[in-house]
Structure 1
Amino acid sequence: MNDEEPAENISGGTAGGGQSATFDPETAGTRAEAVVDRLGEMYWTKTYGGRDAFECLVRTILSQNTSDKASQPAHDELMARYGGGEDANSEGDTDLARALADADQPELAETISSAGLYNQKSERIIALAQRICEEYGGESGFDEFVRESDPEAVRSTLLDMNGVGPKTADCVLLFAGGRGGVFPVDTHVHRIARRMGLAPADADHETVREYLERDVPAEKCGFGHTAMIQFGREYCSARKPACLDDPDACPLAGHCDQVGVYPATDEVVDPSETV
């Protein structure tokens, strides 16, 4: 098992993420759990938590509608300018929320330009920072809220924030709050869960999340999310999954229903089109 997450993974940034944990794959009670256990053997088994909640929120917003390859430099530039790095506007100011609440929008947009949609994202980040300063006094108060309050209350509050959708809220709960039983659903997870038959073919993101959180033990949801993303990048891509040319090329072939994948005709469609 590779215990080092790649730098481009949203859970790890440049330093890797989480702490290694050990689980017994022989105890899987559902097919979804068996899939997650196999992914853990292929990649990593981690427990997450401890990341700064506001920075995690900002990082996830930067990643929206773009690749990690594009959003990571934007995050690094933002932290260097506003997070107390060498290019920070004021020495010793390490409260990221306060720094961004006072940020000049065009300057922030330029800073995060590599992430795409930089005008929209910069406006959202500043508005979120201002709200967090008003309601929680800054990033430390927000961090305490995310870590210690009822998870459903945290999720509801996050979803009430402009620009924060279910995946962003769940990533904050998982990577900052360290909450078990949270399985964020991004594009990769949404595709793979339906393609494998772990959720209905026409399920939306929230329905996929409900199925996975029901069928995967709470302590395995975190690495299930990150490892499934990596699996989607390496094997189960949207247009050319590994099984299309060679059924044996996919290490999860024995667990997959291949919904929407037709090797005989070299055709791949979204699982929802098969309903």
Structure 2
Amino acid sequence: MPEEPTENISGGDEGGGAAAEFDPADADTRAEAVVDELGRMYWQKAYGGQDAFECLVRTILSQNTSDVASQPAHDSLMERYDEDGRDLAETLADAEQSELAETISSAGLYNQKSEMIIGAAERIREEFGGADGFDAFVTDEDPGEVRERLLDIHGVGPKTADCVLLFSGGRGGVFPVDTHVHRIARRMGLAPADADHEAVRAHLERDVPAEKCGFGHTAMIQFGREYCKARKPACLDGPEACPLYDLCDRVGVDEVAESVVDPADAD
């Protein structure tokens, strides 16, 4: 199995979980066939086991920025606030906002993100008694209830909630949708061209087996970075340039004119 690209935090060494062994047999849907091919290109992995509160913090830091920027912010936060013998949620609930903002400045939007993290820590301390109680809730309770409670935390959207369910709770059938997944699923024709993030998630979770959703999410992100870029997808260089060319509808891509528009704006 190829090594996971460490640039992709969710699928790299910090992603938790373990290698998943299953046979990519004949797919029942085109979405499953795409995920199987992505698995052959990158990796197959079942997720879970990451601390839920740290996963939440990491995902908030990654909002509207790259892993290159958010990883140093996460490392700096953990170095300053992960004190031996003290609950991380409790520590961050008591953090001074300007100090935390300075600590995570490399992630961008650091004032907003520091407020979100402190607010989330306060909620988790109040409702679950701290990070350990929150971790047990995410791991053991009904996924629908977990998702609903997560979405009620300021700064937590559907993608953040789904990442916590996947990488901490290890829940099968969860396919988080970020900007790469949203673009690729619609461009390939795996979801309607005008589908929003939630509609894309519904289509992928319907058409991809539960045990394949986790690595499908992380591998699709990597594919978006390497091949299916927003402005210049590999298919513009010819069919041989994209390993998923035959599985793709290329909605919004005009190979003759070498132009690309958002799938929702395609004729």
**2:215 partner letter:** F
Letter in 2 for 1:181: G
Indicate conservation of the 8 Å contact 1:7/1:16, yes or no: no
| In structure 1, distance between residues paired with 2:196 and 2:207 | 17
The separation in 1 between residues aligned to 2:48 and 2:14, in whole angstroms, is: 14
2:147 is aligned to: 155
Inter-partner Cα distance in structure 2 for 1:6 and 1:12: 7
Is 1:173 aligned with 2:172?
no
Q: Identity over aligned residues, as a percent?
A: 75
Paired positions, count: 267
Corresponding residue SS for 1:27: coil
Per the alignment, in what secondary structure is the counterpart of residue 10 of structure 2?
Answer: coil
Shift of residue 13, structure 1, vs aligned partner? 5.3
Contact 1:6 / 1:16 at 8 angstroms: preserved in 2? no
Matched, 1:255 2:247: yes
Q: Which residue number in structure 1 is paired with residue 176 of structure 2?
A: 184
Give the superposition deviation at 1:95.
Answer: 1.3
Q: Flag structure 1 segments of 5+ consecutive residues without an equivalent.
A: 85-91
SS state of the match for residue 238, structure 1?
Answer: coil
**Alignment partner of 1:235 out of 205, 220, 227:** 227
2:131 to 102, 120, 139: 139
In the TM superposition, residue 12 of structure 1 has moved relative to its aligned partner by 4.0
Runs of 4+ residues over 2 Å off in structure 1: 12-18
Residues 243, 249 of structure 1: 8 Å contact kept: yes
Counterpart amino acid of residue 142 in structure 2: D
Counterpart Cα distance in 1 of 2:26 and 2:237: 32
Contact 2:15 2:50 in 1 (8 A): no
Displacement after TM superposition at 1:138 (Å): 0.3
- Aligned partner of 2:88 in structure 1 is 96
By how many angstroms is 1:23 displaced?
Answer: 2.1
Q: Please, what TM-score do these two structures have when normalized by structure 1?
A: 0.95
> Which residue, out of 216, 224, 229, partners 1:224?
216
| Structure 1 residues 16-27: aligned runs within 5 Å | 17-27=16-26
Distance 1:116 1:203, change over 3 A: same
Partner Cα separation in structure 2 for residue 263 and residue 65 of structure 1? 29
The amino acid across from 1:10 in the alignment is I
Map Cα deviations across residues 101-139 of structure 1 (whole Å, 9 max, x no partner). 010110000000000000110011001101100110000
Q: Which amino acid aligns with 2:165?
A: L
Q: Indicate the SS of the match to 1:11.
A: helix
Is 2:8 the counterpart of 1:6? no
Q: Is there any run of 5+ residues in structure 2 with no aligned partner, and where? A: none
What SS class does the counterpart of residue 35 from structure 1 fall into? helix
The alpha carbon displacement at 1:8 in A equals: 2.0
Equivalence map 1:47-86=2 (5 Å):
47-84=46-83
Q: Contact conserved, 1:5 with 1:17, CA < 8 A, in 2?
A: no
